[in-house]
Amino acid sequence: MSDTLEISRTPVLYLSHGAPPLADDRQWTAELAAISAGMKKPTAILIVSAHWEAAPLTLAATETVPLLYDFWGFPERYYQVQYAAPGAPDLAAQVRKLLHSPATPVYDDPNRGLDHGAYVPLKEMYPDADIPVLQVSMPTLDPRELFEIGRKLAPLRDQGVLIVGSGFTTHNLSAVNLGGPADAAAPNWSIEFDDWAKRALAAQDIDSLIDFLHKGPAASIAHPRTEHFAPLFVSLGASEDTLGKAETVVDGFWYGLSKRSWQIG
């Protein structure tokens, strides 16, 4: 692949999005704003969130519908957040073309709004909500299958589409103290898994990342259920040709959970 084509391709992101209160972390919001400021404005955004598993693969609303406040027990102000991004019917048509087959159909859910894994980070990156957004479900948590989906979506990068996987690099809410300070020292299992993931991606060791439950230290503690790490594999598949350009754009911990996020390409 020529250097010219690589330069023209839109980067791919994997973001640790946290719960809605992560938007109160001024460092995190500033880092997300810096990510968007450092790249060309995308023509559209395709986002895969840890909070939507649906098989077969399903496309959310292709026109603007109310947000999905898929969380409970938070102060009322978090349920008043708005993000009325335009729908992306043209992008949806391209995704269907790239992914649909008799063996792997693509469904539509025209009433599903963006969930907090999508709108929380996008509101910080593109607060004007003027870029069409399409959310796509995860039809499986199998890393290899998600990687292949990302591979099939990769041509969208040549059209200025920003592909975003939104999860959390470590995610075990039962093993951290959510009643303590957000900047409390992270537990060893979170630190060790975060460091391993950073080094594995820097080495472009995709096989180890795909086999993270066996290769990553304390992986079953860092991810007792794997839905928050799973979006990374869509991002890796979509950026396979530019993995050598992966860089950490957010790091640190929030309530002991790793906020590490990558921009690839």
Length of the chain equals 265
The model's confidence at residue 3, banded by pLDDT at 50, 70 and 90, is very low
Q: Confirm if 113 and 69 have CB atoms less than 8 A apart.
A: no
Q: Residue 232 pLDDT more than 80?
A: yes
On the question of pLDDT at 123 being above 90, the answer is yes
Task: Examine residue 127 and say whether the peptide bond preceding it is cis (omega within 30 degrees of 0).
Answer: no
CB-CB contact of 119 with 135 (8 Å): no
pLDDT digits (tens, 9 = 90+) for 63-76: 999 999 999 999 99
% of residues, the chain, pLDDT over 90: 94
> What residue ranges define each of the domains in the chain, with the CATH number in brackets?
3-261 (3.40.830.10)
Distance CA 157, CA 19 (A): 28
What confidence score (pLDDT) does residue 125 get?
A: 98
Which residues, listed in sequence order, are joined to residue 261 by a DSSP beta bridge? 250
Residue 7 has pLDDT above 70, yes or no: no
**Which pLDDT score is estimated for 55?**
97
Q: Give pLDDT, residue 19.
A: 86
- Looking at per-residue pLDDT, the higher value among 139 and 19 belongs to 139
Above pLDDT 70, what percent of the chain?
A: 97
Cβ-based neighbours of 151, under 8 Å, separated by 6 or more = 237, 238, 240
Predicted confidence (pLDDT) at residue 180 exceeds the cutoff of 70: yes
Encode pLDDT of 86-117 as tens digits. Answer: 999 999 999 999 999 888 899 999 999 999 99
188-199 average pLDDT score: 98
pLDDT band at 21, cuts 50/70/90? very high
